[in-house]
Structure 1
């Protein structure tokens, strides 16, 4: 009985800690939601009060302002995630299972990129995008966003592929499969949890990216949410309710991605933890 009471007390303490942590995490989000249904007067004179009238029209006004930015963010984040998935999966498989001259030096050069701070690449990347004529295009954000994610994910996928049984790949080659067929029919199904984790990670990172789109996209119609909302904050400094409604709308795609991709996200984390 004593052990059971101690165990129950430990469980209660653990759950209490998790509840408090969740409250701290979600408190700013709840503040944003309650501000999004208020006008300026309610925010200034009753910041913590939640009572009618609720100004749901803030969402209609905010949607008109942010809807183009939502599509821009979807194009940029989706394109970056797709390019990163295809490139990282193929490169990780090549470094993990194929033999070619310079394989190890090339891999360690890519891996060394992990140790460079992102801000250190800002000026060289901008100059390269300028020389390639990519400035003020979606490609400037998509290509450089995907390349920034590749060093880590190539390392992860290479490690994951190398830990798989060699017999699987040998059987495919005995049956006459080439490297491309082996990659599609053997490696990709094995990599499915890691691909899901990679997709969610890169999509969220690019959705929240601010500095690179700010310096490369100068046309207002091409701005993603992170940059566009910052300009809205300076353009409409008094419309706090409508601005918070815009932020709430901006968070919906990420919430949906988390809700529908949570299972794959957890599977990817556990697969990577076991294999790495």
Structure 2
């Protein structure tokens, strides 16, 4: 058989089927999966207890704490929502104002420290950076005195400005480092075309910072939604208090009605879960971008 015949035969014969590879179960792989499954169960178990407990009455909670029971008492949610709904509206307003102020100030400051040159730039950034190492409790009393002297008590700005002052050092640092990693040619080309710094910031920097902005917005929302001490001491009017203070008062008012109390906890956590699932892709992009840039 000639070489030509061998080549023709090899071309016409079907290729042998690739051998199927059986999955390999190693001790390290099994240990890793068992560990991950255990961690997921431990993290989700309190959520499971909250959900099933919110549909129970007192006797069901005492008799079958860890298992679902019938009938389902959906009226727990109705009574809990009637109690905490005003606090919902207040917290949403405070969170929206805080997100606008914090995101706007942090992105502008981060771009300014990265791309602009002005007197005392390095000293100001070092002072801002040093603020991250101070415990938050140290600024509680001075912040309260300052808010009182400025007449900000019982206003939305006492919540939003405190959140901005607390979150700014870290997020300015993150935004500056992120902008530092962008090609300088992008900014110089727009300057050569006659664009102002504000136009560069709006048209170029903000789109680049979109994942980080989403991450910061969710962080600010979480901060406002879970803050308790500052709203408790600065918002003395009952109709202006936040969801955490409302949940605290619900726990006292519910007494032994644990079903309604747990339903209130579930309703308080629901907006955070909805916000995370809506912005989950942008949130994960921000985490990845921040990890790569930093």
TM superposition score category, shorter chain reference? over 0.9
Matched, 1:244 2:262: yes
Count of residue pairs the alignment pairs up: 275
Question: 1:59 aligns to what?
Answer: 77
Q: Which residue of 2 aligns with 1:144?
A: 162
Moved more, 182-191 or 40-49: 40-49
Q: Does the 8 Å contact 1:194/1:271 carry over to 2?
A: yes
Residues of 1 paired with 2:138 and 2:22: CA distance?
A: 55
Q: Is 1:186 aligned to residue 204 of structure 2?
A: yes
Computing the radius of gyration from Cα coordinates, the structure with the larger value is: 2
TM-score normalised per structure 1:
0.95
1:99–1:12 CA distance, 2 compared to 1 (3 A)? same
Task: Give 2:13's aligned residue.
Answer: none
Which is helix-richer, 1 or 2? 1
Map 1:86-235 → 2, pairs under 5 A: 86-235=104-253
CA distance in 2, matches of 1:69, 1:271: 35
- Residue number among 271, 276, 279 corresponding to 1:261 in the alignment: 279
Q: Structure 1, residues 171-214: CA drift from partner, whole Å, max 9, x if none?
A: 00011101100111111111111111111111112111111111
Match of 2:24 in 1: 5
CA distance in 2, matches of 1:149, 1:211: 16
User: Which secondary structure state, in structure 1, belongs to the residue aligned with residue 279 of structure 2?
Assistant: helix
Deviation at 1:235, TM superposition (A): 2.0
- In structure 2, the gaps of 5 or more residues are 1-19
Partner of 2:5: none
Contact 1:136 1:218 in 2 (8 A): yes
1:73 offset after TM fit, Å?
Answer: 1.3
- CA displacement 1:8-64 (0-9 Å, x = unmatched): x43333222111111111111111111111111211233223221110111111110
Aligned-residue CA RMSD in angstroms? 1.6
Q: Structure 1 residues 236 and 6, CA, compared in 2 at 3 Å: closer, same or farther?
A: closer
Partner SS, residue 261 of structure 2? helix
The answer as to whether partners of 1:220 and 1:228 remain within 8 angstroms in 2 is no
Q: Distance in 1 between matches of 2:22 and 2:219?
A: 42
Shift of 1:5: 2.4
Report the Cα distance in structure 2 between the residues aligned to 1:78 and 1:23, rounded to whole angstroms: 33
Deviations 1:98-149 (A, max 9, x none): 0111111111111111010000110000000000111122211111111110
Equivalent position of 2:15 in the other structure: none
SS in 2 for 1:115: coil
Q: Distance in 1 between matches of 2:99 and 2:35?
A: 35
**Which whole-Å CA distance do the structure 1 matches of 2:254 and 2:154 have between them?**
25
Q: Which has the higher contact order (CA 8 A, sep 6+)?
A: 1
Q: Which residue of 1 aligns with 2:8?
A: none
For 1:84 and 1:3, locate their aligned partners in 2 and report how far apart those are by CA, in whole Å.
Answer: 53
My pick for the range that moved more, 218-227 or 165-174, is: 218-227
Runs of 4+ in 1 over 3 A off after TM superposition: 1-4, 9-12
C-alpha contact 1:77 1:142 (8 A) present in aligned 2:
yes
Paired with 1:65 and 1:114, the residues of 2 have a C-alpha distance of 37
